[in-house]
A and B are shown apart, each in its own frame.
Chain A
């Protein structure tokens, strides 16, 4: 993450540098001012110039010690103040909660604590929001990874247990006694569901990072997909009942309701970026994956099979 950020900043700086120096200065100052005076209001335009000068000096003082840690690339530029001024606000904007220097590294437990900072009530609220088809409230909530991970794990467990129970019921119904527990269902459920909840958002994040929007949050899509799976928990229990039309209707109702929810939420998130074709490709990717997962769940775990002796 931080690596790419730095690269982008580097690119931006060189780009701005190649333009006229006055513009560069103005842009840098303006950015810094936006940040510094967002709560303290600027009253008149005449004082603006003076204040800018003051702010610049202050900023210079505060930023200089930190700049020693930056790459040589940054220091080699002629206009040091502007780089620091441009550099700072962007970092603060992208990570609003903490000062970037204090952000824990990707491999530490503290890094993920942010995504597990959730209370019991909130988890249930989010589950409810993830099934209402035309509600767009889901993305407005803080992203977490507790829900997606444990809902998926629960579902892996339930799928393998109830899938086997369903085939047991079916074998009873068809009068066969030659039934045995199929443990390979566990590994299959694992691959399918973890892939769907964690790998698919990662792929979409990569695509969107390259072609659509820089701001796309992977954890929110993981949350949207993960929480939507929570409704397969009752479905997987009810699907034990050996009745094909009941199984089909349950799987399809939940599948379509959650699909609409995921797609509408994601569309809300991406629609402002203007490149409709690319957004549609991503939505299509989600649509196809979702339907594949729904049908695989139906055919692998809740399929009526006549067991012969």
Chain B
């Protein structure tokens, strides 16, 4: 019920009167709940698309930091800071460039909303990276990174592709493909 209203009005309408005197914990919990529902939308990828219209960047930041920490932990010792920076760079600059590319191709999308969608779509790769950190085996890594990659890409394309002109769809989707491919290839190096 609350979610439906959220997506319709784009404001947390249920709390309008009482956000000032609630505890910090309640505020954080509400934000976490919202991030949770968006992650669910990404995972089932045929979910309610309006839910992601109410964009935030907390979720992507959290997922990005998690992935950076996991992958830099697995990198060679003298290169772990480089890997951390690289993941951070690919996720933020990369998703920005992918979005600008879609805009330039004439896509009817909003910038931050698409960056938010791409950020949330890293979630399958997070799961894959955690699994491959636990089972340090090249075959397991390959299988899970592959599944994570396909999951991420189907989920993000189902959000972005309806807004791109038909004769340019491939051109807009290719960078998304490259974005997730580069991230999942780093998982293989764990």
Contacts and interface: CB of A to CB of B under 8 A. Distances in A.
- Genuine A/B complex: yes
Interface of A: 109, 112-113, 115-120, 123, 146, 150, 153-154, 157, 161, 180-184, 186-187
A120 B170 contact: yes
A233 B36 CA distance: 39
17 contacts: A109-B104, A116-B104, A117-B106, A119-B171, A120-B171, A123-B171, A146-B101, A146-B171, A150-B101, A157-B181, A157-B185, A161-B185, A180-B76, A181-B75, A181-B79, A184-B79, A186-B86
B3 to A, nearest CB: 32
Interface range for B: 20 to 34
A154 to B, nearest CB: 6
A127 B10 CA distance: 45
B175 A116 contact: no
Contacts of A187: 82
A115 B171 CA distance: 13
A198 B75 CA distance: 31
A112 B76 CA distance: 40
A116 B105 contact: yes
A154 B76 contact: no
B175 A183 contact: no
Interface of B: 75-76, 79, 82-83, 86, 100-101, 103-106, 167-171, 174-175, 178, 181-182, 185, 189
B104 A119 contact: no
Provide the main secondary structure of the chain B interface: helix
A42 to B, nearest CB: 41
A150 B174 contact: yes
Given A109-B104, A181-B76, 15 more contacts: A109-B103, A113-B104, A120-B169, A120-B171, A146-B101, A146-B104, A150-B178, A153-B178, A157-B178, A181-B75, A181-B79, A183-B76, A183-B86, A184-B82, A187-B82
Nearest to B165: A119
A256 B33 CA distance: 58
A109 B171 CA distance: 17
Contacts of B185: 157, 161
Given A109-B100, A116-B101, A150-B175, A181 B167 contact: no
Contacts of B170: 120
Given A118-B171, A146-B171, A183 B181 contact: no
Nearest to A118: B171
* 8 closest cross-chain pairs (CB), A and B: A116-B104, A181-B189, A180-B76, A120-B170, A119-B167, A183-B79, A183-B82, A157-B182
Contacts of A154: 178
A142 to B, nearest CB: 15
A146 B104 CA distance: 9
With most chain B CB atoms within 10 A of its CB, the pick from A119, A157, A180, A183 is: A183
A183 B100 contact: no
Nearest to A147: B171
A187 to B, nearest CB: 8
A183 B104 contact: no
A146 B134 CA distance: 40
A113 B174 contact: no
B168 to A, nearest CB: 6
A183 B103 contact: no
Contacts of A115: 104
A113 B106 contact: yes
B99 to A, nearest CB: 11
Contacts of A184: 79, 82
Contact of A120 (B86, B100, B167, B182): B167
Nearest to B177: A154
Contacts of A109: 100, 103-104
A82 to B, nearest CB: 40
A183 B75 contact: yes
A182 to B, nearest CB: 8
A295 B174 CA distance: 29
A120 B82 contact: no
Contacts of A117: 106
A224 B23 CA distance: 61
A192 B100 CA distance: 24
Nearest to A187: B82
A154 B174 CA distance: 10
A217 B24 CA distance: 58
Nearest to B182: A157
A184 B189 CA distance: 14
Contacts of B189: 181
A154 B185 CA distance: 13
Nearest to A110: B104
